[in-house]
Chain A
Amino acid sequence: AQSVTQPDIHITVSEGASLELRCNYSYGATPYLFWYVQSPGQGLQLLLKYFSGDTLVQGIKGFEAEFKRSQSSFNLRKPSVHWSDAAEYFCAVGAGYQKVTFGIGTKLQVIP
């Protein structure tokens, strides 16, 4: 069965600083990988996804993620964080036909 590990439960960064959120997955075949963002009390918004092709994926709101098969990782990055980026971020892996498994999430706090 697939699994997702987000080792950082909580991250604090200063506004304007760069950001990297870590995600490691476990799956026997080629995974479908996702990053979602969730604001308090809200549903999930898809930031980006990787299905195949270029391992560096561009998403919305200036986010990007890089798929590294050798490291089983799909880390999310943003060069300059804005206060509005404060939210919970979930990495997810899709496997089989459609089933998705989520990581525990990383809560991002942005300080002025």
Chain B
Amino acid sequence: GAVVSQHPSRVICKSGTSVKIECRSLDFQATTMFWYRQFPKQSLMLMATSNEGSKATYEQGVEKDKFLINHASLTLSTLTVTSAHPEDSSFYICSASRYSRGATYNEQFFGPGTRLTVL
């Protein structure tokens, strides 16, 4: 259990276009989903946290108008990179956590990532 998928796994787009990445929890309901960005040879940096049915919380320095996050259901969150530029090229990874009653910590389960290349 606790499988998270991402689609697409790889996308190449032209500068100025928008790209949507989907993150799905396949066998559980994810109350919270997270979006990370990983530049080459670097660690994962949290971009934003999204709770189903509410607005995402963005980390400092992440442009909310550029990286639109929608968490419309308990199994789906989307990240849209608007007006993408070459500097947005990166590996984007989502994770999802499920609510466990009485738990002091809700573990995150990670998707396989999406490689975005902006030409």
- Asked whether, in the complex, the Cβ of A102 is within 8 Å of the Cβ of B43, the reply is yes
Annotate B85-107 by CB proximity to A: 1 below 8 A, 0 otherwise: 00000010101010000000111
Q: Chain B residues in contact with chain A, CB under 8 A?
A: 6, 32, 34, 42-44, 46, 49, 91, 93, 95, 97, 105-108, 110-113, 115
Give residues in A with beta carbon < 8 Å to B: 32, 36, 41-44, 46, 49, 51, 90, 94, 97-105
Interface of B, helix, strand, loop or mixed by DSSP: strand
Interface of A is mostly: strand
CB-defined contacts of A44 to chain B, threshold 8 Å: 44, 93, 110
Whole-angstrom distance between the alpha carbons of A43 and B38 in the complex?
10
Nearest neighbor of B44 in chain A, beta-carbon distance: A102
* A79 CB, min distance to chain B CBs, angstroms: 27
Let me know if A90 and B108 touch, CB within 8 A. Answer: no
Name the one of B6, B42, B105 contacting A104, with C-beta atoms under 8 angstroms.
B42
Docked pose: A29 CA to B111 CA in angstroms: 28
User: Which chain A residues border B91 with CB–CB below 8 Å?
Assistant: 41
In whole angstroms, how far apart are the Cα atoms of A105 and B39 in the complex? 12
Which 10 pairs from chain A and chain B are nearest by CB?
Answer: A43-B112, A44-B110, A43-B113, A102-B43, A104-B43, A102-B44, A98-B106, A32-B105, A43-B110, A98-B97
A98 to B103, CA, bound (A): 11
Q: Is the CB of A98 within 8 A of B112?
A: no
Contact between chains at B43 and A105 (CB < 8 Å): yes
Report B39 CB to chain A, min CB distance, Å: 11
Instruction: Assess the A97–B46 pair: CB atoms within 8 A.
Output: no
Q: In angstroms, how far is the closest chain B Cβ from the Cβ of A48?
A: 12
